[in-house]
Amino acid sequence: MPEAQPKNPADDAAPPTTATESKVAPPPPAPPSQQAAPPAPPPKTEKKEVTVGDDDDDIPTDAELIHMPRKALDRRLAKHTAAELKSRFGTDDFDAIKTKLARAEELEAKEEERRRSALSEMEKLKEDAAKSEQRALEAEARERTIQEDRVYEREDSRMARITERHVKPRYVDYTLNEMAKWMRRSFSKEEMAKVTDAQVEDWIKEFSSKEAPEVAKDYEQRISATAKEEGKKPPTAPLTNGVNATSPTPPPSGGDASQKTFAPNRPNSMTSVEAKQAAAREGYRW
């Protein structure tokens, strides 16, 4: 009978596991991230208010709203003014200040006289020539301004005469203002001086036939002629006792009722002088 072989302890060990058979436990999930709490709003600060009753009361430098009677305010302003005058002129007496200013002007004149006396004859002549040239330039500028104003006035009269031939009197200023806008859009400053009467009349005829037909002198005649051609009775004005029963139709322009307007026949319409002055302020000339 064969003898039993001794048992190897390694035989009792568990067989080795393969990679497919091994199972690794997954790592524990990360804790959920906590969002930071929103910052607390800054504390609401109220404006510091101070009530001052006496002009001698001190006002805190951090005060933002100060209450005081009108008399207290007047006293503080008077005190501050007196302090400023004393610091600048050495006194708060107005008569004394006037005397000091007059004295200062006198001293300046004497100083200028001494300065002139110290100059040589040639330096005096140069200085006098420079002053004369400056005065001549100023006079030339004034004369040029006067001449330009005369040209503008002459052109204003020319444009007004042409307009009055085709436009009702109450619409002349309104039409001139619209004409000035047209000229600013269509011509340069040099070309404006060369605009002929025929060009102006052509524009007025077009303006009074398309944009604002009611400004034309022959507006009613045109309406009557058109009505006759169409076989209709021409419109007639209603009978009244002298009071204007219908509101006149203004040309297509407007303005706020609280201010003057170029549009004619309005309660707030400009006069002829006001219209020209307003147009000149806007840079329009006709």
Maximum distance among all alpha carbons in the chain? 162
Q: Is 69 in a helix, a strand, or coil?
A: coil
pLDDT, tens digit, for every residue of 225-236?
777 777 665 555
Same domain assignment for residues 154 and 225? yes
Domain count, the chain: 2
Same domain assignment for residues 179 and 270? yes
Residue 173 in this model has a pLDDT that exceeds 60: yes
Q: How many other C-beta atoms lie within 10 A of the C-beta of residue 99?
A: 12
Q: Considering the entire predicted model, what is its pTM?
A: 0.33
**In this structure, what token pair is assigned to residue 38?**
């929103």
Same domain assignment for residues 82 and 141? no
| Amino acid type, 13 | A
Is 209 domain-assigned?
yes
d(CA 128, CA 25): 110
Tell me which residue range forms the domain holding 159. Answer: 135-236+256-281
Please state which of the ranges 108-117, 153-162, 248-257 shows the lowest mean pLDDT: 248-257
Q: What is the mean pLDDT of residues 109-121?
A: 83
